[in-house]
Amino acid sequence: MTRTVTAPLDDVAVKSLRAGEQVLLTGRIYTARDAAHQRLFEAMQKGEPLPLPLAGQVIYYVGPAPAKSGAAIGPAGPTTSGRMDPYTLPLLERGVAGLIGKGSRSEEVKRALVRHTAVYFAAVGGAAALLARQILSSRIIAYDDLMSEAIRELEVERFPLFVINDCHGGDAYQAARKAYRNPAGKSHTSSK
């Protein structure tokens, strides 16, 4: 069963999510990729003000393509999340509640999700044009010189995601690998 979740997220919403669930996210989220993460990290280290609120926010690892006439945004598929792992802990410490990308996270990030009551979602890679249809508006709020990697505020409606790592230590990728290796109690072998 798919359920709707509203961003920004509060602790009640985050605690209700379980690895493996499919959700439809509605509300305000922010984009940030590698270069924007580095700038945010440097600003935090220097004690400088940040260009976006962090408490309860959801950050989507995306560098969208330019929008066609009449569209809010161009194709907006997720980028590989592991590249953001070195910058993730300080963001979680400052209240970021949700992260969206693709691929696995480090053990350190997974432990931090539990410690800081946050969740990691995966968006389907290769579906950038379809995902863009669920984005109602997009505006650059910081680092416009980074072009596609600028931080944007997005309004999304029924944005399809899967909970990969929940705040209870659940890991949908590990569960799927375990099930594949041992379906219904049998060992998986290929026939020749």
Complete DSSP assignment for 104-155: ---HHHHHHHHHTT-EEEEPPTT-HHHHHTTEEEEEEEE-GGGGGGSEEEEE
pLDDT in tens, 51-107: 999 999 999 999 999 999 999 999 999 999 999 999 999 999 999 999 999 999 999
Q: pLDDT tier at 1 (50, 70, 90 boundaries)?
A: confident
- Report pLDDT for 183: 66
**Cβ neighbours, 10 Å, residue 148:** 15
What φ, ψ does residue 46 adopt, rounded to 5°?
A: -85, -5
pLDDT in tens, 95-140: 999 999 999 999 999 999 999 999 999 999 889 999 999 999 999 9
Collapsed DSSP state (helix, strand, coil) of residue 17: coil
How far apart are the C-alpha atoms of 14 and 33, rounded to whole Å?
23
Whether residue 37 lies in the annotated active site:
yes
CB burial class (10 A; 0-12, 13-18, 19+) of residue 186? exposed
**Tokens coding 176:** 């799927």
- Nearest CA to 138 among 126, 127, 150? 150
Residue 103 has what DSSP assignment? S
**Cβ neighbours, 10 Å, residue 49:** 5
CA distances in angstroms from 150 to 34, 51, 94, listed in the order given:
10, 11, 20
pLDDT in tens, 153-180: 999 999 999 999 999 999 999 988 888 8
Beta pairing, strands 58-60 & 22-31: parallel
Does residue 187 or residue 48 have the better pLDDT?
A: 48
pLDDT in tens, 10-39: 999 999 999 999 999 999 999 999 999 999
Q: How many residues does the chain have?
A: 192
- Report pLDDT for 111: 98
Residue 192 has pLDDT above 50, yes or no: no
- Report pLDDT for 136: 97
How far apart are the C-alpha atoms of 163 and 23, rounded to whole Å?
7
Domain architecture of the chain: domains with CATH: 3-182 (3.20.130.10)
Cβ 119 vs Cβ 95: under 8 Å? no
Active-site annotation holder among 37, 116, 168, 188: 37
The per-residue pLDDT of the chain, averaged, comes to 94
